[in-house]
Amino acid sequence: MDATRIIAIRHGETAWNVDTRIQGQLDVPLNNTGRWQAERLARALAAREAINVVYTSDLLRAWETARAVAESTGAPLIADEGLRERGFGAFQGKTFTEIEATMPDEAQRWRKRDPFWAPPGGESLTAMRRRVVETLHTLASRHRGEQIVMVAHGGVMDLLYRAATGQELQAPRTWQLGNTAINRLLWTPEGLTLVGWSDTSHLEDESLDESTT
């Protein structure tokens, strides 16, 4: 069978998520909520899924989330820089409000989703898409007939959804990118297909809490 089943996961919550502060490729750890989300996710996958390997961005917030999954499922854990968040250059560490106040022209181009524009010192959407799609194909092609987990970032999840549904880079986003939401994709040599998106039922399942298992 040529298909690879992919469970794509955005990392758990961080303090900078709460503050709407751009993380980009800076290393920001999970907050307490994020660690709880990662544990709920890990227990849900361990109870319901057969997983051959967990791939993750090497950035701390993704690595912490993926480590919880790997420890619960017993799957090997492998980091890959190709799964990193977009490089936001001069935007990193700033809130949306700060960017609009200090770099209004750049902020406007960002809002317009110009695919060839990059924040000063950062990465364009076109360049990021190339990186993410190439990484996806490389990793998925190693596991035909298997199921793998990929833990990454909101920007990566957005590009995977667009690749699977044929959405252009400039199309307005109408889909959710929740922390630790379970997103399901099917990879074949011909391309990517969307199977399911933004399943957060594990975050509402109290039976997955450590105190009740």
**What whole-number percentage of the chain has pLDDT above 90?**
94
CA 70/CA 59 separation, integer angstroms: 16
Region 59-77: mean pLDDT is 98
pLDDT digits (tens, 9 = 90+) for 14-31: 999 999 999 999 999 999
Contact criterion met (CB below 8 Å) for 69 and 54? yes
Q: State residue 207's pLDDT score.
A: 81
CB-count exposure of residue 95 (10 Å: 0-12, 13-18, 19+): middle
**Residues written for the chain:** 213
Any catalytic annotation for residue 11? Answer: yes
Which position among 11, 13, 64, 106 bears the catalytic label?
A: 11
Q: State residue 210's pLDDT score.
A: 66
Q: State residue 208's pLDDT score.
A: 80
Backbone φ/ψ region at 194: left (φ over 0), alpha (ψ -120 to 50), beta: beta
Which position among 39, 85, 106, 123 bears the catalytic label?
A: 85
Q: What is the pTM of this model?
A: 0.95
pLDDT digits (tens, 9 = 90+) for 81-118: 999 999 999 999 999 999 999 999 999 999 999 999 99
Which domains are delineated in the chain?
Answer: 4-212 (3.40.50.1240)
Q: List Cβ neighbours of 41 (8 Å cut-off, separation of 6 or more).
A: 9, 12, 65, 68, 69, 180, 182, 202, 203
pLDDT digits (tens, 9 = 90+) for 112-152: 999 999 999 999 999 999 999 999 999 999 999 999 999 99
Contact criterion met (CB below 8 Å) for 11 and 30? yes
